[in-house]
Chains A and B, each alone.
Chain A
Amino acid sequence: MAGSPNYTDYHPRWLRRRVSTYWWLGSWSYFAFVLREASCIFVAWFVVYLLLLVRAVLQGEANYQQFMSWSATPAIFWLNVVSFLFLVYHAYSFFDAAPRAMVVHIGKTRVPASWVAGGHYAAWVVASAVIFWVLLRA
């Protein structure tokens, strides 16, 4: 004991382990968390894509057709498919988290978490239905 330079009777040498760079591969829930964080990149991409679409529409028929042709290229098509899947996961994870952050009371009664999550899903369905209705009318 006395021969070890890193040890004293009153302050033993503690073992400090570093977190691996690949900690997020250690369990499915860590990996799901990283996927959720990564989904923000695809949300940002859809915002950019939507702005490009609006700009193309504002610039007239020719630009809009050019934008649609560009969107139909395999790279953009598959990027949008992957982005859509990530967006659905992003929405699901957000709605899953919402009841834990929002504690709603009606009078003195606490609204069950399932109702808060259900309200978010209902709003999602209604918003999607409105968009479909607008698209189908057009």
Chain B
Amino acid sequence: MGDHITLQIARYLPEKQSEPTFDEHEVPCPKDWVVLDGLNYIKDKIDGTLSYRWSCRMGICGSCGMTVNGEPKLTCATFMADYAPGPLRIEPLRNFPVIRDLIVDIGDFMRKLVNVKPFIVRRYDKPLSEGEYLQTPQELDEYKQFSMCINCMLCYAACPIYGLDPKFIGPAAIALAQRYNLDNRDEGAKQRMEVLSEHAGIWGCTFVGECTKVCPKHVDPAGAIQRYKLTAALEEMKTFFMPRGA
């Protein structure tokens, strides 16, 4: 049928099965329906046991990341009509343990994120009476791209390095560390460098570049990691040639 599309949805019910299976459902496919609409249709009308995460439906919360026809996508921003006549294969994000159906465990990322201190670190906070920390538009531009990350995990799902070595801190956490390093109000770069200059940090990345390609917010985590590598190498050279400091 031209106005319908078939969704093949990965199901994993840990209490019943040890391997995932696929359910097929035909759903309406108007041109303004995204994959998430198709899933909601199934949940509401066909099979209420289907489990998946979603929240905002507008590419802000980063909850609805899934693998759509083999590619990590935000299902709220992926139009089913673009895949007509189908079928569309929907699986959980790769490289994460699957808890149930399309829901993955992102605890590993959350723990790593905290380690890179994704917040402004100050040695001394100036008193409120001295006013706000002013920033020029140019200073904002330095980090704004990296601040657009919504923690959707698509970059982790696309990164074969993370899949092969789960110790790797990963693209989003490093990009967020870089976001604060490049913020002229921040003074925590040295603390972050201690975490990120380890093998599981920036040096684990071999610049596959897929993280940047799949990022729905154009954050360019791969670029952030390469910049960080350059900074780390320069810092290392500085300590070698000027051991007592510049």
Contact = CB atoms under 8 A, between A and B. Distances in A.
Contacts of A110: 141
B95 interface: yes
Interface residues of A, number: 26
Given A101-B223, A101-B230, A15 B208 contact: no
Give the interface centre of A15, A27, A102 by most chain B CB atoms within 10 Å. Answer: A15
Interface residues of B, number: 33
Interface stretch (B96-104, B121-129, B188-196): B96-104
Interface in B159-186: 160, 163-164
A19 B95 contact: yes
B15 A12 contact: yes
B105 interface: yes
Given A30-B210, A33-B208, A23 B99 contact: no
Nearest to A26: B70
A1 B141 CA distance: 53
B14 interface: yes
Contacts of A103: 227
Given A24-B160, A97-B207, A110-B141, A13 B227 contact: no
A71 to B, nearest CB: 33
Nearest to A19: B163
Nearest to A101: B226
Given A7-B14, A12-B15, A15-B12, A101 B229 contact: yes
Given A12-B100, A24-B160, A100 B223 contact: yes
Contact of B213 (A1, A12, A29): A29
A33 B160 CA distance: 11
27 contacts: A7-B14, A13-B14, A13-B18, A14-B14, A14-B97, A14-B105, A15-B12, A15-B14, A15-B19, A17-B94, A17-B98, A19-B164, A23-B160, A23-B164, A26-B70, A27-B210, A29-B210, A30-B160, A30-B210, A33-B209, A97-B207, A97-B226, A100-B222, A100-B226, A101-B226, A101-B229, A102-B230
Interface of B: 12, 14-16, 18-20, 70, 94-95, 97-100, 105, 138, 141, 160, 163-164, 206-210, 213, 220, 222-223, 226-227, 229-230
Nearest 10 Cβ contacts at the A-B interface: A101-B226, A100-B223, A14-B97, A15-B98, A19-B163, A1-B15, A12-B14, A13-B14, A33-B208, A7-B15
Given A29-B210, A110-B141, 18 more contacts: A1-B15, A4-B15, A12-B99, A14-B14, A14-B97, A14-B99, A15-B19, A17-B94, A19-B160, A19-B163, A23-B163, A27-B70, A29-B208, A29-B213, A101-B223, A101-B226, A101-B229, A102-B227
